[in-house]
Amino acid sequence: MILKLHCAPSCSPVNGDGIQSILPQRGRGTSEAGGGGLPRAIPLGASFPLHHRLRRRSPSPSGRGFLGLALALLASTSPALAQDYDVLIRGGTVYDGSGAPGRSADVAIKGDRIVAVGTIPATATARTLVDARGKIVAPGFIDPHSHAAPNIQTPELAPALPMLYQGITTLFMNPDGGGPADLAPQIADLRTNIPGVNVAPMIGHNAVRAAVMGNVDRLATPEEQAKMEGLVTAAMKLGAFGLSDGPFYIPAKYSNTAEIVGLAKAASAFPHAFYESHIRDEGNYDIGVVAAVEEVITVAREAKIPGVVTHIKVLGPQVWGKSAEVIAHIDKARAAGVQVWADQYPYTASGSSLMASLVPGWAQEGGAEALAKRLEDPAMRAKIRAEMVPNLARRAGPHAIQIRAYKADPSLDGKRLDEVGAIMKLDPLDAAIEMLKQGGAPTVSFNMSDKDVEAFMRQSWTMTSTDGGLPPFGKTAEHPRAYGAFPRKLRNYVLDKPVISMAQAIHAATGLPAQVFDVVDRGALRKGAFADVIVFDPKTVRDTATYEKPHAYAQGMDYVFVNGRAALAEGKPVAERFGRVLLRTP
């Protein structure tokens, strides 16, 4: 006889001590390689007090009496009684991440793994029962482009709440060529101060170029090239998943395709590596968006590495409609056997900076300080300003640029550049120059058409991403994508207006990135996979962050399990953090 200790909805763990108190504590700093699971079976003597604590904070005489009775029963009946599962999610519509349609199924979790998906007998027991009727159950979302680092390395922001509220359980750090040139401290840091979600490092081209050459406007010498490739190799040995690139930004802007091919080859010497690029030109700045996508295809072909056009878009009214041409180029390359993919955030505004979006590349050499000096010289200022005029048109004019975080005068945060001009009593472009002289500012740039956004979204090779940072809550004028990208896609492009199916949207956020980046045993809701599992309500799931009020958590996520532990339970975060540092499988 088996004594069942059901955790009925009435003893829902979050109504008691909080879910973290009923689950065994995992050691901090667990990494993918070293992570052990929970015990596969909890003896009654252990599980009873845990269950008891759901109702009472401290043992009571009656509790001890019940425990005594239970132990007597144990002695007289069965040698090893246990809860069947740690978590049992019942009656939800399960999307397994493969792109297959949803089906009604139960999901069971033991330790950090999914142990069953299907019809689980009504007699099965679990310490945490989730009634998912009417809800969608899916693998946790994987964000291929996140600016969460370095803020996620701070104690205040390590919980990564904007991500958890979106259902993100794994994110890729150091995109756009950024991050540290040596990944060792970042990895060590995140293993010590474990984050709320899994984190996976990439090694950035811009980072290694800055480390070897500084922000200079010239090609690399063979010696410098070898040094940069050495840094990429070292990072890959540490477990970086791939190379991230940002030739739109300095200093990678000053590279040529051969330099990138060399670095991509250094990465592709390791199994399962990929290369992800914020392409050289998303609009018609210099080489144009189509040629810039072709550069990714060239690198992917020559270095024999999967290439990802990150946050794919056609930027600026002059190139609206070019999504068709870009898609045709990618399809042609794929048909020829080149592995090309893309990711996308579902917004018509991008995030950039005054310098990167308005200032010509040559004038950015040396960075913001050097630019500020150049702008002090009247002749140089006139020359730079003349080239900023067409760049402002490429960005759809001064009303299409919103200032995010201007350190010199935070009262301007959230204002459009035309408003800033009116406040400063200057032409908007001159206002921008004044701000650049004070260090510049990050921006939100309204430059896309929804038709292009939808066209890219429909492609089978497009993943979902945020491109979002991890700002201190309420502190900066952030792009709302940091809080809302994944639920926004579900709400706006699946549920309200069916641009793509729920199955495709979930695949684009789970199984597809897991496949492209070779994230082993994640992005899939199947027996044996890591238990990164989300439960959300299709009736309520939505983003609430707007351009005007970006600091607002997304809604509709009921449960977010990270490595088998509920990081979000009944829509609320728990105090503990369950993320791991994921490293590329050798």
Nearest partner of 144 among 208, 202, 82, 188, judged by Cα: 202
Residue nearest to Zn ion (CB): 278
- Indicate whether 576 belongs to the interface with Zn ion (CB under 5 A): no
Residue 559: strand, helix, or coil: strand
Among 36, 35, 41, 138, smallest CA distance to 85 is for 41
Task: For the CB of residue 147, give the shortest distance to Zn ion in the complex, in Å.
Answer: 8
What HEC string does 460-475 produce?
CCEEECCCCECCCCCC
For residues 570 and 165, what is the distance between their CA atoms, to the nearest angstrom? Answer: 11
- Looking at the Cβ atoms of 176 and 452, the one nearer to Zn ion is 176
Strand partners, 442: 353
CB of 176 vs Zn ion, minimal distance in Å: 4
Closest CB 312 distance from Zn ion, rounded Å: 11
Tell the smallest beta-carbon distance from residue 178 to Zn ion (Å): 9
Return the range that interacts with Zn ion (CB under 5 A); candidates 41-49, 277-285, 389-397, 468-476.
277-285
Write phi, then psi, for 105 (nearest 5 degrees).
-160, 160
CB 426 within 8 Å of CB 419: no
In whole angstroms, how close is the CB of 278 to Zn ion at the nearest point? 4
Instruction: Give the x-and-dash track for 398-437 against Zn ion (CB under 5 A).
Output: ----------------------------------------
Rg (the chain; Cα; Å): 25
**Whose structure tokens read 């009684």?**
81
If the CB atoms of residues 278 and 489 are measured against Zn ion, the closer one turns out to be 278
Judged by CB under 5 A, the stretch of 41-49, 270-278, 286-294, 398-406 that binds Zn ion is: 270-278
Should residue 265 be labelled a site residue for Zn ion when binding is judged by CB under 5 A? no
Select 127 or 278, whichever has its Cβ closest to Zn ion: 278
Q: Distance between CA atoms of 127 and 149, rounded to whole angstroms? A: 34
Of 207, 267, 206, nearest to 242 (Cα)? 267
DSSP string, 2-24: -------GGG-GGGTT-HHHHSP
Beta carbon of residue 209, minimum distance to Zn ion (angstroms, whole number): 16
Q: Work out how close the CB of 157 gets to Zn ion at its nearest, in angstroms, rounded to a whole number.
A: 20
When the beta carbons of 239 and 442 are compared against Zn ion, the nearer one is: 442
Which residues, 172 to 211, sit near Zn ion by CB under 5 A? Answer: 176
Nearer to Zn ion, 176 or 259 (CB): 176
For Zn ion, the closer of residues 52 and 278 by Cβ is 278
Nearer to Zn ion, 112 or 176 (CB): 176
Q: Where are the alpha helices (DSSP H) in 336-480?
A: 354-358, 368-376, 378-394, 417-424, 428-437, 450-457
For 216, the token pair is: 């200079």
CA dihedral over 388, 391, 393, 396, signed as positive or negative: negative
Based on CB atoms, which residue is closest to Zn ion, 289 or 534? 289
- Rule CB under 5 A: choose which of 205, 265, 278, 489 binds Zn ion: 278
Binding mask 103-122 for Zn ion (x = CB under 5 A): --------------------
Collapsing DSSP states into helix, strand and coil, what is residue 246? coil
Nearest distance from residue 531's CB to Zn ion, in Å?
31
Nearer to Zn ion, 278 or 404 (CB): 278
Build a one-symbol-per-residue string for 216-245: x at contacts with Zn ion by CB under 5 A, - elsewhere: ------------------------------
User: In which region does residue 49 sit, left (phi positive, over 0), alpha (psi from -120 to 50) or beta (all else)?
Assistant: alpha
Site string for Zn ion, 137-176 (x = CB under 5 A): ---------------------------------------x
Question: Quick one: which H or E segment has residue 488?
Answer: helix 481-490
Which residues make up the interface to Zn ion (CB under 5 A)? 176, 278
